[in-house]
Amino acid sequence: MDLQLKDKAALVTGASRGIGLAVVEQLVAEGARVVAVARTGTPELRVTGADVVLADLAVPGGPEQMVAAAMDAVGELDLLINNVGGGDGDAAAGFLDFDDDAWRSMFELNYFATVRATRAALPSLIRQGGAIVNVSSIGARTPAGGPVPYTTAKAALTALGKALAEEFGPQGVRVNTVSPGAVRTALWTDPEMYGGQLARKLGVTQDELLAGLPQQTGMLTGRLIEPAEVATLVVQLCSPLTASIVGADYVIDAGSVKTA
C-alpha cells in the first residue's frame, strides 16, 4: 500500500536505535525526506539515508536547535515523531527513592523534550497541515509497572497528545499517540539498563527474564514486541490515508492491558 508519504519532510527524535531507528527506516522506504535526531549517530542510523542531527533533547534549547537544524536540511516540516524517551531508572527503586533531581531528569527527557520540540515545530506543521505522533507507553495506563517518575511522565505525555489534538486539529494538524508495551529494545536487552537491573533484582539471568516477561506481563502472543511493529503503526498514523484519526492513543501491547 502506498502511504502517500513520498517527499514528505519528517523529523524523528530518539532515532539511534529501537523504535526510533525502525521509524526512520520505514519512512525512508516510503520516500519521505527524514531528519533523524539522536545524541549519538550510530552506524545503523547513518546507513538509513536520513539526515542525522546530533542533539541532547533533555536540555533546554536542545529541541529548538534541533527543529531549526531540521528545517535547514529539509525545509518546512510535514511530520514530527516524538519518540525520544527513556525509563532506565533503578529497578529496585520505589517512590521514596527518587528525589527532585531524579523527577526533573525523567520529565525533561520523557515530557519536556516533546513539549519543546512540538512548540518549535508547530508553526511549520500548521502551514503544511502536518501530523504529530508521540510515542508514550502503556506505563501511562499501568503506573505501577515501572519507575514512578517514568510512568507519571508518560501519563503526562499521553494527556498532552489529547490536548494538542483538541487545539490544533481544527488548524489542520493531526496529533496521535502510540503506547507500546514491552518492546525488544536496549531498555530490556542491555545488561546495564532497566532489564538487566530487574533481572539482578529478581535473581535470574537476563535471558530468563526476557523469556518469562511476556507471560508475566500478560502478553497474549507469548513474545516481546519488535520495534518494527511499533514503527509500522507510527508510520501509518503519519499517512494522509489516516486523515480522520485525530487525538487517538493506540495501545500496541500484545494484550497486556486488560481494561477497555
The pLDDT score that the predictor gives to residue 177 is 98
Amino acid identity at 117: A
- Residue 246 sits in the same domain as residue 132: yes
pLDDT tens for each residue of 234-247: 999 999 999 999 99
How many domains, the chain?
A: 2
Which of 251, 249, 248, 187 is CA-nearest to residue 219?
Answer: 251
Write down how long the chain is.
Answer: 260
In a domain, 258, yes or no: no
- Residue 156 sits in the same domain as residue 31: yes
- Residue 86 sits in the same domain as residue 40: yes
CATH code of the domain in which 55 resides: 3.40.50.720
The pLDDT score that the predictor gives to residue 144 is 86
Tell me the torsion sign for CA atoms 252, 255, 257, 260. Answer: positive
- Residue 19 sits in the same domain as residue 100: yes
In a domain, 107, yes or no: yes
7, 73, 192 from 34: Cα distances, Å: 9, 9, 31
Q: Cβ neighbours of residue 188 under 8 Å, at least 6 residues apart?
A: 182, 194, 195, 209, 210, 213, 224
- Residue 89 sits in the same domain as residue 122: yes
- Residue 57 sits in the same domain as residue 141: yes
- Residue 154 sits in the same domain as residue 196: no
Residues identified as active-site: 150
Containing structural domain, residue 166: 9-181+226-251
Q: Cβ neighbours of residue 107 under 8 Å, at least 6 residues apart?
A: 149, 153, 156
The pLDDT score that the predictor gives to residue 86 is 87
pLDDT tens for each residue of 81-97: 999 998 656 667 899 99
The pLDDT score that the predictor gives to residue 260 is 75
- Residue 216 sits in the same domain as residue 119: no
Spans of the chain, pLDDT less than 70: 87-91
The pLDDT score that the predictor gives to residue 89 is 61
In a domain, 217, yes or no: yes
In a domain, 134, yes or no: yes
CA-CA distance, 196 to 6, in Å (whole number)? 40
Prediction pTM value: 0.96
